[in-house]
């Protein structure tokens, strides 16, 4: 081959490669993590979340970081039209009204929300956000925020609008088992009905509007671990307009984000919130009932 032909061939191949890679990027789910304020270590968890979502192979991941607490958040803006799903690693100041309206419009028109751990501690006074997360905790929430929702010993959903009491609580961290309550839901399909989560906070006494909630997974809050003696929701979904919202309360810090069940559930929750479907397979290293399993995300 002449050198000119070689150059033409190389250029052709390069063009082909660029076309192929941009096509696959176009096919991916566009995911945005929002962080910047949190009573949790978002600076440690966001980079791990990025790895978790990128390693699934089906997401493109961006991060939007607000100004720090006490600084002017009003200029924080996001173009939600560029995304299919928003992951909330945020528990901080209210956004500007235009951005909050844009976020509600994004969900109403079919966008996805994944509230990660303390994401459901945020925005106590933002009515629409609380409808989306279904149940929240802390942040001054009380009986006026909505009822408790838990499962009784027979697995029946109890919604208790009468009882007064705390909103948001957890005992010491322990490695609790998680019970699948909606085994046919795309997020849970194929998972063992009970699996061992890592040492983590077990959120309990969450309260909120609790409208249209589907509980996907619970954990029994053992009284010996300062628990409520209830099956407490850990993962739930709420439809909002055409949008799909998932509240996943697991994963206190980076350590918990190396637990295989945390990783897999976050990936599956995000895919479902974005598309209403889950194509990700359950990996062979998913934990059974007895022991948590960890994965080195740097490998
Ligand atoms: Zn926590």
Is-contact 205 228, C-beta < 8 A? yes
Residue 21 has pLDDT above 60, yes or no: no
Question: Would you kindly state where each structural domain of the chain is located, as residue ranges?
Answer: 26-275
179 C-alpha to ligand 1 centroid (Å): 20
Please identify, in words, the CATH class of the domain defined by 26-275.
alpha beta
Q: How far apart are CA 128 and CA 104, in angstroms?
A: 7
Confidence (pLDDT) at 16: 47
What pLDDT band is residue 273 in, cutting at 50, 70 and 90? very high
The set of residues, in sequence order, having a beta carbon less than 8 Å from that of 204 and lying 6+ positions away, is 169, 170, 171, 221, 227, 228, 230, 232
The pLDDT of residue 186: 98
Looking at residues 161-188, what average pLDDT do you find?
Answer: 95
Q: What is the 253 CA–ligand 1 centroid distance (Å)?
A: 7
How far apart are alpha carbons 228 and 101 in whole angstroms? 36
Confidence of residue 9 (pLDDT cuts 50, 70, 90): low
Separation of 237 CA from ligand 1 center, angstroms?
Answer: 20
pLDDT at 19: 47
Res. 22: pLDDT tops 70: no
Distance from the alpha carbon of residue 247 to the mean position of ligand 1, in angstroms: 14
Ligand 1 center–CA 13 separation, angstroms: 49
Task: Calculate how far, in angstroms, residue 259's C-alpha sits from the geometric centre of ligand 1.
Answer: 15
Distance 16 CA to ligand 1 centre (A): 47
Tens of pLDDT along 95-135?
A: 999 999 999 999 999 999 999 999 999 999 999 999 999 99
Spacing, Cα 266 to ligand 1 middle (Å): 16
Q: Are 149 and 233 in contact (CB under 8 A)?
A: yes
In sequence order, which residues have a C-beta less than 8 Å from that of residue 81 and are 6 or more positions away?
Answer: 106
Kindly state the average pLDDT of the residues 26-37: 96
Partners of 86 in the beta sheet? 32, 113
Burial class (CB in 10 A: 0-12, 13-18, 19+), 291: exposed
Q: Ligand 1 center to residue 5 CA distance, Å?
A: 61
pLDDT at position 14 is 47
Find the 202 Cα to ligand 1 centroid distance in Å. Answer: 9
- Percent of the chain, pLDDT > 90? 88
Count of Cβ atoms closer than 10 Å to residue 147 Cβ: 17
Mean predicted lDDT score pLDDT of the chain? 93
């Amino acid at each position: 081959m002449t050198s000119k032909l070689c150059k033409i061939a190389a250029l052709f191949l390069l063009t082909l490669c660029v076309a192929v890679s941009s096509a696959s990027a176009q096919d991916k789910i566009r995911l945005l993590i929002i962080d910047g304020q949190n009573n949790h270590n978002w600076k440690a968890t966001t980079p791990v979340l990025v790895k978790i979502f990128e390693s699934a192979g089906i997401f493109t991941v961006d991060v939007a970081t607000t100004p720090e607490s006490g600084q002017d958040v009003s200029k924080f803006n996001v173009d939600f039209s560029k995304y299919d799903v928003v992951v909330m690693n945020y528990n901080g100041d209210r956004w500007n009204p235009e951005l909050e309206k844009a976020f509600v419009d994004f969900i109403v028109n079919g966008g996805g929300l994944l509230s990660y751990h303390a994401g459901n501690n945020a925005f106590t006074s933002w009515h629409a956000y609380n409808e989306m997360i279904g149940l929240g905790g802390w942040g001054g929430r009380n009986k006026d925020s909505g009822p408790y929702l838990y499962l009784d010993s027979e697995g029946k959903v109890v919604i208790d609008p009468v009882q007064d009491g705390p909103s948001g609580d957890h005992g010491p961290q322990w490695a609790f088992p998680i019970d699948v309550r909606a085994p046919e839901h795309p997020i849970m399909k194929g998972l063992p009905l009970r699996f061992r989560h890592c040492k983590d906070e077990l959120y309990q006494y969450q309260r909120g509007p609790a409208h249209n909630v589907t509980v996907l997974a619970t954990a029994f809050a053992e009284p010996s671990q300062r628990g409520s003696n209830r099956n407490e929701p850990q993962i739930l979904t709420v439809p909002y307009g055409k949008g799909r919202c998932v509240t996943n309360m697991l994963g206190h810090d980076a350590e918990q984000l190396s637990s295989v069940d945390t990783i897999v559930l976050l990936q599956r929750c995000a895919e479902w919130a974005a598309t209403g479907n889950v194509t990700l397979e359950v990996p062979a290293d998913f934990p059974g009932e007895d022991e948590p399993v960890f994965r080195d995300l740097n490998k």
